[in-house]
Amino acid sequence: MLALQLSDIFAWDIDFTTDIRNSDSFKVIAEGLYLNGEFKKYGDILSAEFTNNGETYRAYRFELNGKIDYYDAEGKSMRRAFLKAPLSYRRISSGFSRSRFHPILRIYRPSHGVDFAAPTGTPVSVVGDGTVNFAGYKGGYGNIVIIRHPNGWKTYYAHLSRFGKGIRKAVKIKQGQIIGYVGSTGDYQQVRICTMK
């Protein structure tokens, strides 16, 4: 549970699926929960330090008016507008490119998204708060969810096997909420995530 909490705290800075290195290290100060003087389990992480690929990140838990969040040493929230990754994936099979060879059409054309190779059924989370602009089937994209974010940004989640519970047009969603599941609908075999303005 501590490992899951740690990955949630640093999710905006570290992709725990692909960024972890053998030389990485971490320190955690966490609550210990006891019953009749006997340790039962760990509670919340109060502060943490994670060194990833030579760079050190620190987080401190703070509660104000019942709202709990984590902040860095300068008092800035650890949260960002967008998560580093929307799912736990094995590899990036294709990145953003001005000229990518399309595996189906067999021609070179721009790729304005990132393709994540992951097992069918892997949950896909929205990378930032927003509103569902579209959820349905759309040609070569297959099952796709389009999210409208503040400041004119949109993210596209294509080739899904199915949609998350309650995902439909005009629904407001929160960062990290599951919007669908990995699939191979449309003309491709991985989840494609595009961010556009």
| CATH classification at residue 52 | 3.10.450.350
| CB of 87 closer than 8 Å to CB of 122 | yes
User: If residue 26 lies in a helix (H) or strand (E), which one and from where to where?
Assistant: strand 25-35
Asked whether residue 78 is assigned to any structural domain, the reply reads no
Could you say which of 43, 71, 99 is where a domain stops? 71
- The reply to whether 67 and 95 lie within a common domain is no
- The reply to whether 114 and 167 lie within a common domain is yes
Asked whether residue 185 is assigned to any structural domain, the reply reads yes
Asked whether residue 10 is assigned to any structural domain, the reply reads yes
Nearest to 143 by CA among 126, 119, 167: 167
pTM: 0.58
- The reply to whether 25 and 121 lie within a common domain is no
Considering only residues 159 and 135, tell me which one the structure prediction assigns the higher pLDDT. Answer: 135
- The reply to whether 129 and 167 lie within a common domain is yes
CB neighbours of residue 79 within 10 Å:
16
Nearest to 18 by CA among 92, 74, 83: 92
- The reply to whether 65 and 114 lie within a common domain is no
pLDDT of 166 = 95
d(CA 145, CA 160): 8
Number of domains the chain contains = 2
- Whether residue 195 is predicted with pLDDT greater than 60 in this model: the reply is no
Q: Please give the C-alpha separations between residue 126 and each of 87, 91, 147, in angstroms, as whole numbers.
A: 9, 19, 8
- The reply to whether 37 and 66 lie within a common domain is yes
- The reply to whether 16 and 104 lie within a common domain is no
pLDDT of 95 = 44
Determine the structural domain holding residue 99 and report its residue range.
91-196
Strand partners, 62: 69
Query: Taking the CA atoms of the chain, what radius of gyration do you get in angstroms?
Result: 19
Cβ-in-10-Å burial (0-12, 13-18, 19+) of 192 comes to buried
